[in-house]
Copies of this chain bind each other. A is one copy, B any other.
Amino acid sequence: MRLLVVNPNTTASMTEKIGAAARAVAGASTEVLAVSPADGPVSIEGYVDEAFSVPGLLAEIRKHPADAYIVACFDDTGLDAARCVTDAPVIGIGEAAFHLASLLAGKFSVVTTLSRSIPAIEHNLLKYGLDRRCARVRAAEVPVLDLEDPESDAAGRIAAEIERAKAEDRCEAIVLGCAGMADLAAALSARHGLPVVDGVAAAVKLAESLVALGLKTSKLGGYAAPRAKRYDGRFRDDAP
């Protein structure tokens, strides 16, 4: 099967890291293609960055026929829209991590990058129904691109926040709240003694699962294909 992983920001090093993380867990017969859009922000930190990443994300999905798609931003940016433009399954890395963590633990805490991202993640949990399973969404106060910088103290901050979560939240598992943390999960799990779930890896396995089962996104409700209509201005060519 062919799996398209879209990093909705434009930072190539993060796309590469995400692609590597995806390939590291993908099945032997899964071809992973990791891409990022030509248009959009270099990192997604809040609602405005989200908004400007979605047109490019949708363009990538339309451009690359695949058996399944992954939206590799922890806010699950544009996930609903992405599900409308293809019949293939589309998985957000945030939801992927929440669902798998729910199979391993009664309650999990999330450790994300910056506080400003907490409300968006809390909204997603509420929408998915899994807010009751989440003990707390926490921020390590690490800007996304610091995760790309080996000199930064990002890893230390994340580890410290996991310790606080263990001490204060009665959580039984940790969900890493950024695609850029994909390479840290195994070491953190070993170090902190509880399951640490990375969304990129989780999404790869869920995407493979749905494809193996022949399951596709329902087209009966909000995920119906968009109605044909005119789009104006610089989105003229993006019209459905």
Binding site for B on A (CB under 8 A): 10, 25, 27, 37-43, 45-52, 54-56, 58, 78, 80-81, 83-85, 89, 91, 95, 99-100, 102-107, 115-120, 122-123, 126-133, 143, 166, 170-173, 186, 189, 193-195, 197, 201-202, 205-206, 208-210, 212-218, 220-224, 226-227, 229-235, 238-240
What residues of chain B lie closer than 8 Å to A193, measured between beta carbons? 220
Evaluate contact between B222 and A46: CB separation under 8 angstroms. yes
Beta-carbon contact of B81 and A235 below 8 Å = no
Q: Which of B43, B55, B208, B209 contacts A51 (CB 8 A)?
A: B55
Distance in angstroms between the alpha carbons of A115 and B213 in the assembled complex:
28
CA distance A185 to B129 in the complex (A): 25
The 4 A-B pairs at the shortest CB distance, nearest first, are namely: A39-B233, A205-B209, A119-B222, A172-B218
A212 and B123 CA atoms in complex are apart in Å by: 30
User: Judging by beta carbons under 8 Å apart, are B119 and A47 in contact?
Assistant: no
- Indicate which residue in B56, B99, B122 contacts A233 across the interface (CB closer than 8 Å): B56
Residues of B within 8 A of A27 (CB): 27, 212
Known: A58-B48, A105-B217, A229-B43. A222 touches B173 (CB 8 A): no
Query: Can you list 29 pairs linking A and B with CB atoms under 8 Å apart?
Result: A10-B233, A38-B234, A40-B233, A42-B232, A47-B80, A47-B81, A51-B54, A95-B103, A99-B102, A102-B128, A102-B129, A103-B210, A106-B221, A106-B222, A106-B223, A119-B221, A120-B222, A143-B227, A171-B220, A172-B220, A172-B221, A189-B214, A193-B220, A202-B213, A205-B205, A205-B210, A205-B212, A206-B209, A234-B234
